[in-house]
Amino acid sequence: MHLKSLTVKGFKSFASATTLRLEPGITCVVGPNGSGKSNVVDAISWVLGEQGAKALRGGKMEDVIFAGTAGRAPLGRAEVTLTIDNTDGALPIDYTEVSITRRMFRSGESEYEINGNQCRLLDIQELLSDSGIGREMHVIVGQGRLDGVLHARPEDRRSFIEEAAGVLKHRKRKEKAIRK
């Protein structure tokens, strides 16, 4: 399973529909400050169901909709589609390619789709729940966060790694069991 492509339209600085093709392996996005690199990562968090405006570096959720520039009027909705290659069947759905879409209007209403069929956010969360990607997973390390990890005290760094590896919850359960 790997991310195949990301299409953003009306999302943050991406007014026109823009598609990024992602190949297996490492993808680097390069560009000057303020050109929208972090917005690409925000788009991935958002389409996977992120509900917190702060996690998307905004004040309110509406801030994800293209707000306009000197030469271009604001838009009324944001739309992001993430296409995942599922040829290995990692996602429990009978498709070799799975597209997840989220659309949001200025009213605050969000719509979700799996392969073009309208669904609930819960359906997307369930689809991704055992895949290692999703909103609650520590798969997205934000700008500045890496510095935080590198400069953390060894015990804090250890707990970060344990959390990412999924060990922390077991350790907490063990500690709780011992206390009883």
**Which residues in this chain contact ligand ATP in the complex, by CB under 6 A?**
12-13, 31, 33-39, 63, 65-67, 143
- Closest distance to Mg ion from the beta carbon of 162 (Å): 27
Task: Count Cα neighbours of 24 within 13 Å in the Cβ-side half-sphere.
Answer: 5
Give the one residue of 38, 99, 125, 129 binding Mg ion; rule: CB under 5 A: 38
CA 103 – CA 10 distance, rounded (Å): 10
Which residue is nearest to Mg ion, using beta carbons? 38
Q: Whose Cβ is closer to Mg ion: residue 36's or residue 111's?
A: 36
Residue 129 marked as a ligand binder = no
CA 56 – CA 53 distance, rounded (Å): 5
| Overall size of the chain counted in residues | 180
- Closest distance to ligand ATP from the beta carbon of 106 (Å): 11
On whether the CB atoms of residues 103 and 65 are closer than 8 A, the answer is no
Residue 37 marked as a ligand binder = yes
Triad 93, 95, 101: Cα angle to 5°: 80
Residue 117 marked as a ligand binder = no
- Closest distance to Mg ion from the beta carbon of 42 (Å): 9
CA 67 – CA 58 distance, rounded (Å): 12
- Closest distance to ligand ATP from the beta carbon of 118 (Å): 25
Q: Which two tokens stand for residue 13?
A: 């600085």
Measuring CA to CA, how many Å separate 24 from each of 4, 6, 21, 170?
8, 14, 10, 31
Residue 107 marked as a ligand binder = no
Contact partner, 134, from Mg ion, ligand ATP, none, Cβ < 5-8 Å per class: none
- Closest distance to Mg ion from the beta carbon of 146 (Å): 12
On whether the CB atoms of residues 6 and 44 are closer than 8 A, the answer is yes
Q: Whose Cβ is closer to ligand ATP: residue 14's or residue 114's?
A: 14
Q: Which two tokens stand for residue 121?
A: 């956010």
Residue 23: DSSP 8-state: -
Contact partner, 39, from ligand ATP, Mg ion, none, Cβ < 5-8 Å per class: ligand ATP
Residues 112-151 that bind Mg ion (CB under 5 A): 143
Residue 144 marked as a ligand binder = no
Interface residues toward Mg ion, by CB under 5 A: 37-38, 143
